[in-house]
Amino acid sequence: VICNVLCVGTELLLGQIDDTNSTYIGQQLVDAGITSYEHRRVGDNPERIEKALRDLLEVSDAIIVTGGLGPTHDDITREVTATVMGAELEHDSAVLENMKAIFARRNREMPQTNLRQAMVPKGATVIHNHLGTAPGLMCPVGDKTIYLVPGVPHEMYPMVTDTIIPDILSRGKATAIVTRTIKTWGISESSLAEQLDAFVQAGETSDVKVGFLARGMNGIYVKLSASADTKEQARAIIAPVEHEVLAVLGEAAYGFDDDTMESIVIDLLKKQGKTIAIAESLTGGMLSSRLVDVPGSSDVHMGGVVSYTKAVKHDVLGVQVRDVYSNECAEQMAQGVAKHLGSDIGLSTTGVAGPDEDNGHPPGEVFIGISTATDTIAQRFLLGGDRKRVREYTTITAFDFLRRYLSSFNLD
């Protein structure tokens, strides 16, 4: 089965937003073993949308189209698709009810313009949208299908994953492609490439391809992929290579696939029955916020103090040392927040986010502290990048520092 992708929206052509939708759809297709040869982007223009649909229908079994399903009159994907189908648009009362329910939940009047979103091409099947007003639509064209989904990512994701991928799979045989992602932190991408060069070279001629993907504050991913008739076979091909790669990576491998650094840290804390509180200077709440992202984190994450100013470090956290860019400050912040919030463990960040140096300390010089009932440690790191990047790298570096500490602690 070949499924290609069309993203509709003038804002994409103008570079006003990154097209992350086709990235997501590409990942879902490859995970399902569905081939994709081409992704296109066109603006909100009826002739060009129609031409793209007709072109892609010639080389695809299915097309996933994102965007242009909104209530405003430049949202014309529905109408153009109906033209390509040779079908009329019909009013769909179930879609209308869903829209009314959404507006009612928000205590708001439904504007008349939204009525357009209840128009469905005759012969199309509705994919209900519980998160927004634009329904997804499965539109048959001969033995092929055009799938229309909203451009809003969190509305689009479940439609693709839960409805469209299974529908495409029901139409033809797929090759099973399995990708295993090993997530790492602490080794640069070029060092990883060098250390794993033998595996990359072997992958050129063998079944297990090895690739790298730098994902900012989520670390660097090592991706092993293989294809076979079944997922089980593909997994069996990957397993021995994964084993060898993990031996090379050692402690730098922090998790797999859907793991995040935060989920790993929360799991370690839960296993050891320890609570945590966080004192943040340059990260300004980013660590706490990432932990709150993990469902169930409130079992171990008590909260924290954002001590962005020296006064708060001193008055609230009891920091005594004068130099806020020091291991001593990080230690006292970690001790202070654990005491102040009554947690077992304190974790702290302080340092220079940049863009300028401060009192002779360069941007990217950060100090991370850990305090427990019996132990207080801190370490200095030099991180690269602009202000945003330094703050993000500090976040993952701090979690990684705690992960390595808890892992060895647990072994004692």
- Under rule CB under 8 A, which residues in 189-248 are in contact with a second copy? 189-191, 193-194, 197, 200, 211-215, 223
Choice from 1, 8, 25, 124 touching a second copy (CB under 8 A): 25
All residues at 6 or more sequence positions from 342 whose CB lies less than 8 Å from its CB, including other chains: 277, 302
Choice from 46, 74, 101, 320 touching a second copy (CB under 8 A): 74
Pairing label, strands 176-184, 253-256: antiparallel
Q: Name the residue nearer to a second copy (CB basis): 194 or 375.
A: 194
Span interacting with a second copy, options 61-69, 81-89, 100-108, 258-266, rule CB under 8 A = 100-108
Contact between 119 and a second copy per CB under 8 A:
no
CB of 145 to a second copy, least distance (A): 19
Distance CA 184, CA 251 (A): 8
Q: Which 130-189 positions form the footprint of a second copy (CB under 8 A)? A: 131, 133, 152, 154, 179, 188-189
User: Phi/psi at 79 (nearest 5 deg)?
Assistant: -65, -45
Q: What is the enclosing helix (H) or strand (E) of 325? A: none
Q: Name the residue nearer to a second copy (CB basis): 88 or 323.
A: 323
Residues 6 and 56: beta-carbon distance below 8 Å = yes
Choice from 33, 34, 40, 399 touching a second copy (CB under 8 A): 40
Distance CA 39, CA 309 (A): 48
Output the 3-class SS for 230-291.
Answer: CHHHHHHHHHHHHHHHHHHHHHHEEEECCCCHHHHHHHHHHHHCCCEEEEECCCCCHHHHHH
Choice from 88, 162, 229, 293 touching a second copy (CB under 8 A): 293
Choice from 1, 2, 28, 32 touching a second copy (CB under 8 A): 28
All residues at 6 or more sequence positions from 355 whose CB lies less than 8 Å from its CB, including other chains: 363, 386, 387
CB of 39 to a second copy, least distance (A): 4
Contact between 302 and a second copy per CB under 8 A:
yes
Span interacting with a second copy, options 32-40, 232-240, 264-272, 322-330, rule CB under 8 A = 32-40
CA 274 to mean position of chain CA atoms: 27
CA 78 to mean position of chain CA atoms: 29
Span interacting with a second copy, options 84-92, 120-128, 304-312, 319-327, rule CB under 8 A = 304-312
Span interacting with a second copy, options 9-17, 252-260, 322-330, 369-377, rule CB under 8 A = 9-17
User: 162, 149, 134: which is closest to 65 by C-alpha?
Assistant: 149
Q: Which 263-282 positions form the footprint of a second copy (CB under 8 A)? A: 278, 280, 282
- HSE-CB of 199 using CA atoms within 13 angstroms: 25
Distance CA 407, CA 334 (A): 19
Choice from 311, 359, 360, 373 touching a second copy (CB under 8 A): 311
CB of 139 to a second copy, least distance (A): 22
Choice from 272, 309, 320, 408 touching a second copy (CB under 8 A): 309
Choice from 123, 140, 284, 318 touching a second copy (CB under 8 A): 284
Residues 181 and 257: beta-carbon distance below 8 Å = yes
